[in-house]
Amino acid sequence: MIRTTCPYCGVGCGILATADGTIAGDPEHPANRGRICSKGAALGETLGSTARLSHPQIRGRTTGWDEALDLVAETFRQTISAPGPDAVALYVSGQLLTEDYYVANKLMKGFIGSANIDTNSRLCMASSVAGHIRAFGEDVVPGCYDDIEAADLVVLVGSNAAWCHPVLYQRLVAARDAHGTRIVVIDPRRTATCEIADLHLALRPGTDVPVFAGLLVHLVETGCCDPAWTRSPAAGFAAALDAARGAAPSLRAVAATADLPVADLTRFYDCFALTERTVSLYSQGVNQSAAGTDKVNAIINCHLATGRIGRPGMGPLSLTGQPNAMGGREVGGLANQLAAHTGFAAADVDRVRRFWNASHMAIRPGLKAVELFNAVLDGSVKALWIIGTNPAASMPRAGGVREALNNCPFVVVSDCWPTETTRLADVVLPAAGWGEKDGTVTNSERCISRQRAFRPAPGEARPDWWVVREVGRRMGWGEAFRYRGPAEIFREHAALSAFENDGGRIFDIGALAELSDEDYDRFQPVQWPLRRGRGAAGTSRLFNGPAKFATADGRARFVATPYRPLAEPTDRERPLVLNTGRVRDQWHTMTRSGRVPRLMTHKSAPVLDIHPEDAERLGLAAGGLARVESGYGATVLPVRLTAEQRVGEVFAPMHWTDSFTSSGPVDRLVGAVTDPVSGQPELKGTPVCLTPLSTRWRGCLLRRVAAPLPEGPYWWTRVPLDRGHAFDLAGWEPLLGRPSLDDWVSRLLGAPPEAELIAYADPGRGDFRFASIIDGRLDACLFLARLAAALPATDALVTVLGTEISPGMRRGLLAGRVNNHATTEDAQAICVCFAVGRRALCHAIVERRLTSLSEIGAALGAGTNCGSCLPELQQILRSVQRKQAPAA
Ligand code: SF4
């Protein structure tokens, strides 16, 4: 059993893992204390995938490392000599380990001589970084997870922690159950997190600044501010309060701007004002905004004004999305930072240059993510290396990013799996993945933990630090990139943090600079800072006084945050606001989580959530198709009617890509307006219009292989199965209108010429059924009908895919009689750990008279393992109880 950490979210849970894929939460890790969520629990099922990239490729041709690395190094070297270092760029990832991140930044900023290295963390928490630097003088998270449990009030802003940070959410639920923590959720959507909220403020998107400006004014007017924090003129409180009064001229004005009831707003303000132990958790709903930095500072202002920071149970706490977003910040992973929490001031540049003995030190910030891909598109960046991320699907204006990559003279992509981005690469480099490499990560509470290898990498896949080292050596910097392993890189990273650091830089892990390789192997989780000579205990909280910050005078800074509405307003042409975000069991663009069948059972397809009033006005029915169009692109999505959405706003998940659905990535629709301070793009406020498409037919397809389906016009989505793939299909043009139905069906089935094809057709009823059999085994089957209700359930047909088909079974198969009582509702797993579906759950609640989550757990096991499903179990329990309650 190896102690490692989860590669998904920023909670940074400790995991116990074995080479055979057995996974458990680590009871000794401070982040999770043995807990684990559904994604973490399924990690074992992501190991050993046959689809991994295992050998370097040059333009589709498999080759060896020497040829691939020589080509990368030589092309970069030529590009640096003309047109120059700024024509080279790296785009990396919060999935990288700190050691990978460190050497990539050193190569780019210290030796190639440009700061054109940015990271997908720009899309995640760049606004928090900028907000921290403005308020604290340095990018430092003041508190820790224990504060969530010690708080009397927890305010979640733009955070669906129940789905996106599930283990922290479980800790919050346990704290609420133990001592009655009050919980306020501020989010335009009624998310699963609202299940435990005492108050949900469903504010108009983009109005967080007026809400928190109004809170600051309220704190002043009710005498709740602490003069020790507000009285210093240098702290900027007067200007911040002026701006707050401008953004929030009165309670009624805030309520009108944010579209909230005055009574709810008053309740929140009073609750905050009267509760000293208050923690504000915020996440992508705050950060992913063209006003994200101001939102962050509007929240921090309220904590500074009351002195509620740096003490147990209080403080602002940004939840990072990715497992090592924080580690990336430590090494200067963002284009506007240098290593060890320094910037591009001349003294910082000189210090890092001397420490690295750098030959070509970057002297100014580089291009931030959106700017970087714009520069690729306009041809000023000519050689690009992408490591561990999939921008062709995840960047806003993803269509433009694809065009940029297509036009770029030289694109290198390092990854574990084929992606939309590797398809556009000149050189693909196979990366060692989770469980196959060693290094460290830092979670949202500054806790550094080890990731440890426990199985070999496939084929010739190598850790990213090794690949960067090899390129650096081949470019002529062998001495600077002589590392023998990640421990050596970590020691150098730790030493740099302490280099000429007299306490002015808070990020200091100098106490770890002399770890032996054995110490590094045994490394236990610890929170920075960890200065030389100050013991090995780490630091759980910082800033417990008004003059303990990383500014020139040591005082925190209040920041004036004027209100700016959504950067792109809706209008008559595009009257709805598109919000994007995560679902519970998927991660990023599904390159890992999308390979686990049981993680697809919670949400098996991308859907557009819309309020029933909007749906009725637009003529959209539940499950029907809508064409969604923004100023940047268009797609087709099925709709889900839900009052969890505000009227006038729709929501789509960010995960599904072209590999999984014809809808493609939703980021094709999203614009790329960025925050002027942080450069983080607005991902949650794109104006769109919807057009209903009347569904003429529905289909289900089961296939052994996942090869691409023929082009439209129709919608499809794919769900991986243990022995193949299930596709849902729907069309808005008549089936019989197709010029060659036979050819289209044959391409859908993917049937080779030797396949035996059996078919049934009733054109009058619009009913078509096909099966393709190879060597006596069912290779694919396809059902098409006018109505979804006429289709057999795909989860029942799955059981015969790839198996021998007897003559009797053939008849039954085409008649759709294979357990056709199952419905989609049955297939939706609520608890993926114990495979408990909605129907079984409702049945058990009624028949066994279950009245609480603990009774459900005792009866079915549901909710007793990872706990990710607890909010939905609670919703379903309430809904069944409401239906059963006698009419008043
Ligand atoms: Fe992994 Fe879940 Fe923990 Fe996040 S909460 S680190 S996804 S186990």
Query: CA angle at residue 756 from 754 to 762, to 5 degrees?
Result: 135
Specify the residue with its C-alpha closest to ligand 1, atom 4: 9
Q: What is the tens place of the pLDDT at every residue in 641-654?
A: 999 999 999 999 99
- Which candidate, 798, 748, 738, places its Cα nearest to that of 772? 748
Would strands 23-25 and 383-387 be described as parallel, antiparallel, or unpaired?
Answer: unpaired
Which residues 6+ apart lie within 8 Å of 336 measured at CB? 115, 343, 344, 365, 366, 368, 679
Q: What is the tens place of the pLDDT at every residue in 455-477?
A: 999 999 999 999 999 999 999 99
CB neighbours (10 Å) of residue 142?
26
Give 423: exposed, middle or buried? Use CB within 10 Å, 0-12, 13-18, 19+: middle
Q: What is the tens place of the pLDDT at every residue in 537-562?
A: 889 999 988 888 999 999 999 999 99
| Residues paired with residue 451 on neighbouring β-strands, in sequence order | 439
Token pair of 535 as six digits? 């013991």
Which residues 6+ apart lie within 8 Å of 263 measured at CB? none
Name the residue with tokens 């990366």.
431
Specify the residue with its C-alpha closest to ligand 1, atom 2: 37
Produce one character per residue of 395-415: b if its CB has 16 or more CB atoms within 10 Å, e if not: bbbbbbbbbbbeebebbbbbb
CA atoms within 13 A on the CB side of 448: 29
Strands (E), 370-517: 383-387, 410-415, 427-430, 439-442, 447-451
Output the pLDDT for position 817. 60
Split the chain (888 residues) into runs of 10 and give each run's mean pLDDT: 96 95 96 95 88 96 98 98 97 96 98 97 96 97 97 98 96 96 98 97 98 98 96 93 98 98 98 98 96 98 97 96 91 96 97 97 98 97 98 95 97 97 98 97 97 96 98 97 98 98 95 96 96 87 91 96 96 97 92 90 93 98 96 96 97 95 94 95 97 95 89 91 91 80 89 87 88 91 90 74 80 61 54 80 87 88 82 86 72
Amino acid at 48: G
What are the chain's domains?
72-121+324-527 (3.40.50.740), 126-318 (3.40.228.10), 576-670 (2.40.40.20), 697-813 (no CATH), 829-884 (1.10.10.1100)
**CA 430 – ligand 1 centroid, Å:** 25
Nearest atom in ligand 1 to the alpha carbon of residue 868 is 2
Amino acid at 254: V
Rounded to whole angstroms, the Cα distance separating 845 from 834 reads 16
**CA 35 – ligand 1 centroid, Å:** 9
Nearest atom in ligand 1 to the alpha carbon of residue 36 is 8
Name the residue with tokens 């050689």.
383
User: How many residues are present in the chain?
Assistant: 888
Q: What is the tens place of the pLDDT at every residue in 214-234?
A: 999 999 999 999 999 999 988
DSSP letter, residue 165: S
Cβ atoms of residues 242 and 218 within 8 Å: no
- Which candidate, 853, 836, 871, places its Cα nearest to that of 169? 871
Continuous segment of H or E residues that includes residue 615? helix 612-618
Token pair of 480 as six digits? 């600077």
Which residues 6+ apart lie within 8 Å of 177 measured at CB? none
**CA 751 – ligand 1 centroid, Å:** 41
**CA 34 – ligand 1 centroid, Å:** 11
Would strands 715-721 and 649-653 be described as parallel, antiparallel, or unpaired?
Answer: unpaired
Output the pLDDT for position 886. 67
Output the pLDDT for position 820. 37
Rounded to whole angstroms, the Cα distance separating 93 from 807 reads 53
Name the residue with tokens 């991308």.
606
Question: Which protein residues touch ligand 1 with a CB less than 6 Å away?
Answer: 6, 8-9, 11-13, 32, 36-37, 39-40, 165-167
Cβ atoms of residues 413 and 386 within 8 Å: yes
Q: What is the tens place of the pLDDT at every residue in 258-287?
A: 999 999 999 999 999 999 999 999 999 999
**CA 592 – ligand 1 centroid, Å:** 14
Token pair of 617 as six digits? 């006005």
Helix axis angle for 292-305 and 237-247, nearest 10°, is 120
- Which candidate, 214, 220, 867, 227, places its Cα nearest to that of 561? 214
Specify the residue with its C-alpha closest to ligand 1, atom 3: 13
Q: What is the tens place of the pLDDT at every residue in 668-719?
A: 999 989 999 999 999 999 999 999 999 999 999 999 988 889 887 899 999 9
Would strands 278-282 and 410-415 be described as parallel, antiparallel, or unpaired?
Answer: unpaired
**CA 9 – ligand 1 centroid, Å:** 5
Output the pLDDT for position 417. 96
